[in-house]
Amino acid sequence: MLVAAAVCPHPPLIVPELAGAAAPELDELRAACARAIAELRAAHPDVLVVVGAAPQTRVYGGRSAGSMAPWGVDVRTGHGEPTLPLPLTIGRWLLDDDPDRFQAVAADASPAACLALGRDLAAEGRVGLLVMADGSACLTEKAPGYYDPAAPPYQEMIVRAIAEADAGALAALDPGKAERLWVGGRAALQVLAGAAGEGRYDGRLLADIAPYGVGYVVGVWR
């Protein structure tokens, strides 16, 4: 069963070596992620899994490595040659420790596939998930996906679902609309929904910012 989950975003600029003189909101974001992970660890899960989107669904071992070299600085985390995609690399960097494993989920996976994957993860005992999930990148005219008037209400729906531990709302996210609004974390959030199932959790929102027109949300489910 899922005993706890932390939701964190995965912007490369959360790594200080890449941020330079970036927005001070990133300091707030790092601190919120640290608090979320501390609460996740405080639940003492028997199995800790980092979940994030990737080109394909696959498992990486808990000692797998990632690098920020594609984003300008070869900051490495983990052990050995880098193999992790960006969301899982940032997850490993935030943990500063090895999880039991990394679970990549295809960014275009269907909701049914994501929910089934989450149910499978939750069946492994007392499971904790670190869910790496960016929100919409269409929140302002300077956002990577430019501004879409449908993005703010969609982002608000995601924020509310995380804050209220509403697995049903996450399960209902439309993948086509999420893709159009550049919601990088849709698949990972639906894995969380599958892991939560019909369970009841207390949700807590720790951060909700969008300094570059991209929604970055941090929350905890216990």
- How confident is the prediction along the chain (222 residues), in pLDDT tens digits per residue? 999 999 999 999 999 888 766 567 889 999 999 999 999 999 999 999 999 999 999 999 999 999 999 998 999 999 999 999 999 999 999 999 999 999 999 999 999 999 999 999 999 999 999 999 999 999 999 999 999 999 999 999 999 999 999 999 999 999 999 999 999 999 999 999 999 999 999 999 999 999 899 999 999 999
- Residues contacting residue 206 through CB under 8 Å, at least 6 positions apart: 32, 35, 36, 218, 219, 220
pLDDT at 80: 95
The ranges assigned to domains in the chain are: 2-221
Q: What is the pLDDT of residues 77-121, one digit of tens each?
A: 999 999 999 999 999 999 999 999 999 999 999 999 999 999 999
Assess if CATH 2.60.120.10 describes domain 2-221: no
